Structure 1
């Protein structure tokens, strides 16, 4: 009997190994649940050639925006679990469930984390002619005259960046949701909103021209692209540390051997010299990750942002 069980286990292991070796058997579709030209889309399109070289198959980037990234995410959750359809999304994967009681998928059960290849920092920015020189000035003025804070949409990481800032600083700011990072930056340029937690890539050109002024980097550290801008930790806000990460996911039920292969291939692809040279000027910090480590990160942040939503009275 033991010999029979051992033989069966060996056969199963060989079958899993064979599936991983055969992957991919055709074009791999990577769904980006955002419109073209956004942070996540640009990252994936630069990464695709390196993966095509490794896999010997085309990598098709399929933009499926809508519902704050939930439409494309739900699509992948229902795809065949063979590794041929994957999801590259942002940290909205862990923030949106904190606000939306009913989603068309279960983020813990219906999708499998694979890799977390990078993240970008957020900046608190204001209009270049606002007159504010420091974040402390803005906070103090907001308590005298209430302000408006922009986000890239309800449940997005920029939304939670703003809520976390307000919880830590006590600034008197009403949150206004826009349909993406581009419109949110425009709201700062037009003074429709007073402050926004933007990425460098969204506001970078406007920062160069002086139309937008960065007051602080959200997090513990300054960033190389803006060395003169202080971090929020330097300013006394130790609890502010949110970044926009991107992550690759597969439908639940995908062979773990395929998951591990894709993880290894992505970790190798982000070390391509041409890729590094292209994305690091956009403030992407590249990050090698394990399947287990990224899975723990996802589960931990699902809990963290749910609690923040409850504390801020945002949860449904």
Structure 2
């Protein structure tokens, strides 16, 4: 009897394995959804649309970008975390993936167990921006306004990399600000341009169009060297502000799937991303937005997130940052 039971168990495993292999062989054979868990117009949305356009050619199927904003990206991210791990439900997220759950405290997922990293996509520095007629001319001017915590600064949501960049600047310089957390960069841009908020920290690639159009003015960037597309904008390291002598920070994005993605499908998606991110047109599109493309292995992306968690989560706890 035991031998029959054992035989049936082995047979079941063989059938399951064969079915999974057949599924992987056919993948993809229907449209793929990429979740951009913020409002349209920001870094995540732009990134998702650039890679979706190329992935559809590489994979030979329609690739649709869906926006679902809220809770600093957690609502849309949770949709993917709960989706079938079949390669048809993907997520573009930034390094804020590790910070946001620490801030909310009751996140519906643990990034380590809910998602399967696929590949790094691009990295871009932050930029401090103000309306064109702002009296703020230098980063030192901005820092001087942060002594009493009353000066207002906009970001794209609690726990986003823009928010973390402001907190890191404040920690380094002993300054505090009244932060206005939007559901993405788009509305924050409109309010900044309209003069409703006096300053914003955003990714350079999300803001550069407005900067070049003269609708907002860049004060400083958080990169190690000046951004080629904005040669007259100094780095924060160049500001002469005490505490920022070595300050750099970047937002990097990656592609993720729900956990338990079959290895064969993971390999196909990673290979597709390597092809996508080595395409000259894609490289140029990101470069025009001041972002640097670079594919990675799933393991390399996971290691980057682990390093990020060790940097920002202690700061979040120290400052007592909580969701509003």
1:26: Cα distance to partner?
2.4
Cα 1:234–1:17, aligned 2, differ >3 Å: closer, same or farther?
Answer: farther
Structure 1 stretch displaced more, 194-203 or 18-27? 18-27
Does 1:90 find its partner at 2:94? yes
Alignment counterpart, residue 54 of structure 2, candidates 50, 68, 71: 50
Structure 1: 5+ residue stretches without partners? 1-8
1:144: Cα distance to partner?
7.7
Q: Deviations over 1:89-115 (max 9, x none)?
A: 223312211201111111111111111
1:155: Cα distance to partner?
1.7
> SS of 2:201's equivalent?
strand
Cα 1:102–1:144, aligned 2, differ >3 Å: closer, same or farther?
Answer: closer
Task: Supply the RMSD in Å over aligned alpha carbons.
Answer: 2.8
Alignment counterpart, residue 267 of structure 2, candidates 243, 251, 260: 260
TM-score, normalising length: structure 2? 0.85
> Residue 102 of structure 1 aligns with which residue?
106
Q: Is the 8 A contact 2:70 2:183 kept in 1?
A: no
Give the number of aligned pairs: 310
Cα 1:11–1:239, aligned 2, differ >3 Å: closer, same or farther?
Answer: farther
> Residue 168 of structure 1 aligns with which residue?
172
1:42: Cα distance to partner?
2.5
> Residue 5 of structure 2 aligns with which residue?
none
Structure 1 stretch displaced more, 129-138 or 184-193? 184-193
1:143: Cα distance to partner?
3.4
Distance in 2 (CA, whole Å) between partners of 1:171 and 1:46 is: 37
Distance in 2 (CA, whole Å) between partners of 1:138 and 1:35 is: 27
> Residue 303 of structure 1 aligns with which residue?
310
Alignment counterpart, residue 70 of structure 1, candidates 74, 93, 101: 74
TM-score, normalising length: structure 1? 0.87
Does 1:276 find its partner at 2:291? no
Q: Deviations over 1:48-72 (max 9, x none)?
A: 2322222222222222222221111
Distance in 1 (CA, whole Å) between partners of 2:138 and 2:84 is: 51
1:145: Cα distance to partner?
8.9
Alignment counterpart, residue 189 of structure 1, candidates 183, 187, 193: 193
Does 1:115 find its partner at 2:119? yes
Structure 2: 5+ residue stretches without partners? 1-12
Distance in 2 (CA, whole Å) between partners of 1:207 and 1:312 is: 32
Does 1:132 find its partner at 2:139? no
Q: Deviations over 1:258-299 (max 9, x none)?
A: 212211210111222222333321222111211111011112
Distance in 2 (CA, whole Å) between partners of 1:164 and 1:29 is: 34
Does 1:285 find its partner at 2:292? yes
